[in-house]
Amino acid sequence: MGSAIRLTAELVIRTSSIIATLWLTRSLGVTSFGTFLLALSTGLVIAELCDLGLNAIVVPLVVRSRRNLRTIFLMKAVMSLVVVALCAILVPLASTLVGIAAGPLILCTLHFLGAGWIETVGTALRALGRRVDEAVLLLVFRFTLVALVILSPFGAGVDGASRAYALSIGPALFLGALLFRRGVQADDAAGATVSAIVRQAVPMGVNGYLAIISTRVELFLLQIFHGEHVVGLFGGAVRIVESLLTLPTAIAAGALPSVARDVVRGSRGAAQRTFGLVVWIGVPAALGLALCAPAVLVVLGPGFADAATPLRILSAALLLCFSNAALFHLLIAAGDTALVPRLTGLRVAVAAVVGLVLIPSFGATGGAWSFTAAELVLFAALIRRARAHAEIEVARPLGSALLACVPMVLFLWLGRFSLPVSILAGVLLFATAGAAILRRGTEAGGLA
């Protein structure tokens, strides 16, 4: 029941994010959207300094002892005050380096500082077994943001969007305080020391920080070499890819307990099933996105049609992102978490090197190749490491899913249909062909 509540909330949140992004791309235009995306990305990098892995360990800490909750909130408050003080230096420096105005950057940083608190409070509520309260808190936050973006009470430009993002945290922060107004009854278990919490949080914080940077390397390089307009084109294409990543993450997270049990037993059934299912979803999504790229970009608004080639390249990255989500969770299930930050660091390094080579000459297309190359190297490293815990087969699910896509690909290749018709027909054709293939058994399809 708890997982269903969380998954439903995640789907609603992701949908609201898509709505907000589409509204911004259509109202701001390519260049202004690029500027706003840079402000958001830079603000997130600064605001993340007040977490550094703390939120990732809230659940186990609170489950062990509710006394840890007070320590967590105090640590979060101290780190937030430190980051706010550092903003006097970091904001002007980042504004100069990235080439964006300080005003929107301050507002976007404020948004992510508040969002970090909302996430921490929500995670604490989940650890206390109050999943409905967590879902309500997150939904209030996202719905407030969408309402402010759509209504545009502060104007339709970058400054107005930044103000909307900054003020969207208010209702959820107030609600979070109300949800904890009665306090939390402490249990008999001893709480952890601050130093012990820091030791647990730092590795996850390093990985989280690298993960944030890894998907934004291309944005910053594009700004350096080509400016906001190209950033907007690439950013619109990347947002489309990111909007599809909730499903594999939810599948992998939901299967985590089963995969962990199988790893202990020396079995690979749950791991292969999870990986196979993610591949079976990722292959048609990637091929469909590649074939329908121009029609998808029309949804973003005028001016984004030039991102068709980068989006087609990123469709390959989409499949790799799907696969990597499942493989990362396999490592977590096996307790092989020490390697996770190093693998994320590898992805950052590849993106930076390939981006520096390709982006100056090829712009957004070079950024798409950089993003895809980084995900490919990460996939190869993850597969190699994951096979130390479970012999994951890649060829069978990939080959079977590609075979099931043949009718869909032919339909989309030969016909010229509206985007809704293409999506509906593609899903039906893939489902029919997939069902025919899986009649031979799930093992033949790489799902067992």
Specify the pLDDT at position 36: 96
Q: How far apart are the C-alpha atoms of 290 and 280, rounded to whole Å? A: 16
Sign of the C-alpha dihedral, residues 48, 217, 318, 234? positive
**Which two structure tokens, joined as six digits, stand for 47?**
């605001």
List Cβ neighbours of 60 (8 Å cut-off, separation of 6 or more).
none
Mean pLDDT of 319-334: 87
**Per-residue pLDDT for 267 more than 80?**
no
Q: Which pLDDT value is given to residue 101?
A: 94
Residues 6+ apart with CB under 8 A from 89: none
Between CA 422 and CA 105 the distance in angstroms is: 39
Neighbours of 294 (CB within 10 A): 15
Cβ–Cβ contacts within 10 Å for residue 85, how many? 10
Say what the alpha-carbon torsion angle 386, 389, 394, 396 is, to the nearest 10 degrees. -170
Mean residue pLDDT across the chain: 88
pLDDT in tens, 71-124: 889 999 999 999 999 999 999 999 999 999 999 999 999 999 999 999 899 888
Judged against a pLDDT cut of 80, whether residue 367 lies above it is answered with yes
Q: Report the C-alpha gap between 31 and 44 in whole angstroms.
A: 20
In 3D space, the residue among 292, 287, 326 whose CA is nearest the CA of residue 308 turns out to be 292
pTM score, two decimals? Answer: 0.87
Lowest mean pLDDT among 57-61, 187-191, 210-214: 187-191
| CA separation for the pair 333, 259 (Å, rounded) | 6
Report the C-alpha gap between 96 and 98 in whole angstroms.
6
For 17-27, what is each residue's pLDDT tens digit? 888 888 999 99
Structure tokens that stand for 425 in this block: 């027909």
The DSSP output letter for 192 is P
Structure tokens at 400: 């079977």
What are the boundaries of each domain within the chain? Answer: 1-202, 215-448
Q: What secondary structure letter does DSSP report for 391?
A: -
Tens digits of per-residue pLDDT, 34-76? 999 999 999 999 999 888 788 877 877 887 888 888 888 999 9
Q: Please determine, for residue 254, whether its predicted confidence score (pLDDT) is greater than 80.
A: no
DSSP for 359-374 reads HHHHHHHHHHHHHHHH
Helices in 48-128 by DSSP H: which ranges? 58-64, 68-98, 102-127
Tokens describing residue 381: 């490293």
- In Å, what is the CA distance from 108 to each residue of 102, 105, 113, 175, 446? 10, 5, 9, 21, 44
User: Is residue 183 over pLDDT 80?
Assistant: no
Span 236-263, average pLDDT: 79
Residue 399: which H helix or E strand, with range? helix 395-404
What's the rounded Cα separation, in Å, for the pair 315 and 281?
Answer: 13
Examine the pLDDT at 332 and tell me if it is beyond 80: no
State yes or no: pLDDT of 257 exceeds 70: no
Give the pLDDT of residue 188. 61
Q: How far apart are CA 57 and CA 205, in angstroms?
A: 10
Q: CA quadruple 395, 435, 280, 286: dihedral positive or negative? A: positive
Nearest to 281 by CA among 246, 231, 235: 246
Q: pLDDT tens across 412-425, in order?
A: 998 888 999 999 99
The answer to whether residues 179 and 58 touch, using CB atoms and an 8 Å cutoff, is: no
Give the per-residue pLDDT at 159: 93
Residue labelled with tokens 């008999």:
188
Cα–Cα distances in Å, from 197 out to 58, 68, 73, 233? 10, 9, 12, 41
- For residue 163, give Cα distances in angstroms to 104, 106, 148, 256, 279: 8, 10, 9, 39, 40
Q: Name the phi and psi angles at 54, rounded to 5.
A: -60, -45
Query: Sign of the C-alpha dihedral, residues 355, 356, 358, 363?
Result: positive
Distance CA 167, CA 154 (A): 10
CA separation for the pair 209, 440 (Å, rounded): 44
Query: If you compute the radius of gyration of the chain from its CA atoms, what whole number of angstroms results?
Result: 22
Query: Does pLDDT of 444 surpass 90?
Result: no
pLDDT value, residue 10: 67
Structure tokens at 54: 């703390």
Position 16 scores a pLDDT of: 80
Q: Which tokens is 316 given?
A: 């390959």
Residue percentage of the chain with pLDDT more than 70: 94
Instruction: Taking residues 285-309, report their average pLDDT.
Output: 93
The answer to whether residue 127 scores a pLDDT higher than 90 is no
Average pLDDT over residues 270-282: 89
Q: How far apart are CA 201 and CA 76, in angstroms?
A: 12
Checking if the pLDDT of 354 tops 80, the result is yes
- Of the pLDDT bands very low, low, confident and very high (cuts 50, 70, 90), residue 386 is confident
Residue-level pLDDT at 63: 77
d(CA 340, CA 347): 11
Closest to 144 (Cα-Cα) out of 123, 117, 120, 165: 165
Structure tokens, 314: 């990123």
Who's near 156: CB < 8 A, 6+ residues apart? Answer: 27, 28
How far does Cα 229 stand from its chain's mean position?
Answer: 23
pLDDT at 2: 47
